[in-house]
């Protein structure tokens, strides 16, 4: 078999349409906050059926911003606890530390999502929120966790970095959380270069989160430019520079149009892998609880010979990933005890999944995996 080069992630863009939207920004002379960011916020708000969406420069900063908002509006104290997961990119938990809060990890099951039982074990008098990471677009036990949070008076935050377009019972996953934070980083399902978006509940929160994301200024430049330039503004908080810009929003506007179709193709790829690798070696496919509605950002398997397979596939032109190394491996989180996440972290592999893959690429990866076990 002729060797191919099948990469793990390759972003896909409607290049001509993206350039046309960016050109509008350049011709107008407005590339920063406002203009296209406002347009995308409205389009994405309609797409997920959430009333308040704010476009930002990353998911990471969005989580930090949201936690700072909740500290300010709900009188949280430094050192209060946020229940999270070890099975995530470190930025989720770094954002908790940046907000002066304490990350407490609940353990996961083989979906790689935290479970309601494990979350409940970690709730204390200092618990203020739960961050549910919908890893790969998987909903896991989110419904049970949402019910638990409601009973206990705890905010549920959805880290939707992997779940743009992921649904459950026809509803966007954000419908089951109090707040959600999305990622539109380059290899995500709705790719730009790097950007994100946050949802909030009320007009008051919407106004405050916009202020905090723009250096604490009470009115952004675009708002002040409408109907004559209003130069006078107030700085009411020591805010951040987390706002998104119109170039990224212009790309996002285009990419949103193909999100559902792209996610459908990802589910096709996942089904092909699951079918063709059933019963091969020690491989166990990680199914998603919201199966036919998942964004399927990741196609993952659990296996015993993970490191050896990664090395073999690399030599045969197949890119793989590990999502994720348990965050307890890092010194700032080592005190957390998550035996299941730690065990699974040593056994999971992510296989190539992107919209430039052809069916033959899946066949190539599958044959290379079968060859590994034969040898």
Q: What is the mean pLDDT of residues 5-15?
A: 98
User: What CATH number belongs to 259-374?
Assistant: 3.90.1150.10
Please compute the mean of the pLDDT values over residues 70-85 and round it to a whole number. 98
At 221 the pLDDT is: 67
Domains 15-256 and 259-374 share a fold: no
In this structure, are strands 179-183 and 299-302 parallel, antiparallel, or unpaired?
A: unpaired
Rounded to the nearest integer, the mean pLDDT of the chain is 96
Res 227 pLDDT > 70:
no
At 251-263, the pLDDT tens digits run 999 999 999 999 9
Residue 222 pLDDT > 70: no
pLDDT at 226: 67
Confidence of residue 228 (pLDDT cuts 50, 70, 90): low
Per mean pLDDT, which range of 216-225, 268-277, 315-324 is the poorest?
216-225
Would you state the pLDDT for residue 347?
98
Task: Give the pLDDT confidence score for residue 224 in this predicted structure.
Answer: 58
pLDDT beyond 80 at 230 = no
What is the assigned CATH class of domain 15-256? alpha beta
pLDDT in tens, 147-201: 999 999 999 999 999 999 999 999 999 999 999 999 999 999 999 999 999 999 9
Mean pLDDT of 330-357: 98
> DSSP for 119-184?
HHHH--TTEEEEEEE-GGG--TTHHHHHHHHHHHT-EEEEEETT-TT-EETTEEGGGGSSEEEEE-
pLDDT, mean of residues 55-75? 98
Q: Per-residue pLDDT averaged across 358-373, rounded? A: 98
pLDDT beyond 90 at 332: yes
**What's the pLDDT at 135?**
98
User: For residue 109, is pLDDT > 80?
Assistant: yes
Q: Is the pLDDT confidence value at 144 over 80?
A: yes
* Residue spans per domain, the chain: 15-256, 259-374
Q: What is the pLDDT of residue 372?
A: 98
User: Order of strands across the sheet with 155-160?
Assistant: 52-56, 196-200, 179-183, 155-160, 127-133, 81-85, 102-106
Q: What is the mean pLDDT of residues 304-321?
A: 98
pTM: 0.97
Q: How far apart are CA 313 and CA 48, in angstroms?
A: 38
Q: What average pLDDT does range 140-153 have in this prediction?
A: 98
| Percentage, residues of the chain above pLDDT 90 | 95
pLDDT at 225: 67
């Amino acid at each position: 078999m002729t060797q191919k080069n099948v990469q793990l992630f390759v972003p896909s863009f409607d290049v001509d349409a993206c350039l046309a939207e960016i050109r509008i920004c350049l011709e107008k002379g407005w590339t920063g906050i406002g203009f296209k960011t406002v347009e995308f916020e409205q389009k994405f708000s309609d797409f997920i059926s959430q009333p308040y969406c704010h476009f930002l420069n990353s998911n990471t900063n969005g989580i930090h911003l949201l936690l700072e908002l909740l500290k300010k509006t709900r009188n949280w104290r430094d050192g209060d606890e946020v229940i999270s997961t070890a099975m995530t990119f470190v930025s989720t938990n770094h954002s908790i530390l940046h907000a002066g809060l304490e990350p407490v990890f609940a353990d996961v099951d083989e979906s790689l999502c935290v479970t309601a039982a494990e979350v409940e074990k970690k709730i204390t008098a200092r618990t203020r929120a739960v961050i549910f990471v919908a890893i790969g677009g998987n909903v896991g036990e989110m419904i049970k966790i949402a019910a638990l949070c409601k009973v206990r008076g705890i905010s549920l935050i959805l880290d939707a970095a992997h779940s743009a377009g992921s649904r459950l019972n026809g509803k966007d996953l954000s419908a089951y959380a109090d707040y959600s934070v999305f990622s539109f980083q380059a290899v995500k399902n709705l790719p730009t270069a790097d950007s994100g978006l946050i949802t909030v509940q009320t007009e008051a929160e919407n106004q405050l989160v916009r202020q905090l994301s723009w250096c604490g200024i009470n009115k952004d430049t675009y708002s002040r430019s409408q109907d004559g330039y209003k130069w006078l503004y107030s700085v009411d908080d020591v805010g951040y520079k987390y706002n998104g810009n119109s170039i990224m929003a212009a790309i996002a506007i285009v990419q949103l149009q193909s999100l559902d179709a792209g996610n459908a193709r990802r589910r096709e790829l996942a089904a092909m892998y699951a079918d063709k690798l059933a019963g091969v070696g020690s491989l166990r496919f990680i199914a998603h609880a919201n199966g036919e509605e998942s964004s399927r950002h990741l196609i993952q398997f659990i296996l015993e010979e993970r490191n050896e397979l990664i090395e073999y596939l690399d030599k045969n032109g197949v890119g793989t990933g590990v999502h994720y190394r348990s965050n307890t491996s890092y010194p700032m989180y080592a005190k957390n005890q998550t035996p299941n996440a730690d065990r699974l972290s040593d056994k999971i592999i992510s296989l190539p999944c992107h919209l430039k893959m052809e069916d033959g690429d899946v066949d190539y990866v599958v044959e290379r995996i079968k060859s590994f076990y034969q040898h």
